[in-house]
Structure 1
Amino acid sequence: MQAARGTPVDDRDDPGSAPTGLLASSRTWLLFVAVAGMLLAVDQVTKVLAVRHLTDEPDVPVVGELLQLHLTYNPGAAFSLGTRFTVVLACLACAATVVVLWLSLRLRSRLWAVGLGFLLAGIGGNLIDRLFRDPGPFRGHVVDFLMLPNWPVFNVADICINVGVGLILIQVFRGIQLDGSRVEVEK
C-alpha cells in the first residue's frame, strides 16, 4: 500500500476562490495564533481568579455537586502522577511547545490550526505555572480548580489539551495532513 497526496479538502480555504500560497497559509497561521492566544488568556485569567477567590475557602458549587470550584496546586501531571518530576514535566512542556510551533509553520488546514491552537494554549498555560509559580522556576505547581465527582481537579489548560488532541486525532483519522491535503491509500 502506498500513500499519495490528494487534493485539498473542505477544511482548507476554497481552492477555487481563496488565495493560495503565502496568503492562505498566513491566514491559517493567524487562526492558530488567535485560538492559542485567546485560550491561553482565558486559562491564565481563570487561574488568577481562582487563586484570588478560592484560597482558604470551602468548595463552591457551580452545578450542584456535578461541578464545583476547589483550589489545589498540582506539582505533577494529569491525575497528580509524577509529582517528584516537576522539572522533567516543565522541560517536556518546553519541548512540546517548540514542536507545536514548528508544526504550525506548515499549517494550511483550518481544523489543524484550531486543534494545534488548543494544544498550544493548554501546554503553554500549564507551562507558565511551572515556570512562574511557587516553589520556583521549573518547579512551580499548576493551579487546578475545576472539580467533578470521582475525577481529578483540573483547569482550562487541561480542557484545551484534551480538545486539541481530540481535533488532531479527528484530522489524523480522516487522513488530513497539516497542509490540508488528504492522504489517499492506493490499492
Structure 2
Amino acid sequence: MAPVAPSGVRRIAVLATIVPIVYILDLITKTVVLRTLEGREPLVVIPGLLQFRVIFNSGAAFSIGTGMTIVFTFVAAGVVIAILRTARHLRSLPWAITLGLMLGGALGNLTDRLLRWPSGFGRPSPFQGHVVDFIETFPGHFPVWNVADSAIVCGGILAVILAWRGYQIDGTRDTGEHKSNG
C-alpha cells in the first residue's frame, strides 16, 4: 500500500518552513564571514581538509562562466519562478523538502547577485553582483562554496533519487509496471 500523500496545507507548510531556514542561514553565515574574514587570510579549521576563505564569485558553481553574472542572475530568477509554479502541484512530502532546499538556496545566491559586491569595487550594474563563497574543503583541490550551494546540491541529489525511484511531484509513484513493451 502506497503512503498517503500529505495534504496541500502540509506540503506548503514544509516548503514554506524549509525555504526561509535555508535562506536565513545562508544570509547569516555570509554576513558573519564577511564581517570577520573579508580581506584576511583564510581561517584554517582542519589543515588540508577545511578552511573558511572569502571569495566573490561572479560565475556559476565551481566558478564556471566567470563574467557572465547577468546570465546566471536571470537563470536563477527563472529557477525560482519554475519552483514556485511547480509548487502549485506539489503533493509529495519528499518533493516539498527537495524543492524547499533548492528554492532557499537559489534565493540566497540570487540575493547576492542582486545586492552584493566586493568591498572597494563600487556598486555594480544591475544584476552584476557576486555570490559570496567561503567554505573550502580540500583547499586547492575543490571549489569554494556556501550554504546556498550546499542546499541546491542536496536538493538536486534528492530530486535525482526521487525521480529515479519514480516519485512524482503530485504524490503518485510511477513503478514502471504500466509501460508497454511495444
Which structure features the higher share of strand residues?
Answer: 1
Q: C-alpha offsets along residues 106-142 of structure 1, whole Å, 9 cap, x if unaligned?
A: 1111110000000001111110000011224310000
Q: Match for residue 169 of structure 1?
A: 160
Structure showing greater relative contact order (alpha-carbon pairs closer than 8 Å, 6 or more residues apart): 1
Aligned counterpart for 1:142 among listed residues 131, 153, 165: 131
2:95 matched to 1:112?
yes
Distance (whole Å) between structure 1 residues aligned to residue 56 and residue 113 of structure 2: 11
Identity of aligned residues (%): 37
Is 1:157 aligned to 2:148, yes or no?
yes
Structure 1 portions without partners, runs of 5+: 1-6, 14-23
Per-residue CA deviations over 1:136-164 (Å, capped at 9, x if unaligned) read 43100000000012101110011011000
Distance 1:11 1:68, change over 3 A: farther
* 1:63 CA displacement: 2.5
**1:17 aligned residue:** none
Kept in 2: contact 1:11–1:110 (CA 8 A): no
Q: Extract unaligned runs of 5+ from structure 2.
A: 118-123
Match of 1:78 in 2: 61
1:170 positional shift: 1.3
Tell me the TM-score normalized by structure 2.
0.89
| Cα distance in 1 for residues equivalent to 2:37 and 2:144 | 14
Give me the TM-score of the superposition, normalised by structure 1: 0.86
Aligned residues: CA RMSD = 1.4
Count of aligned positions? 170
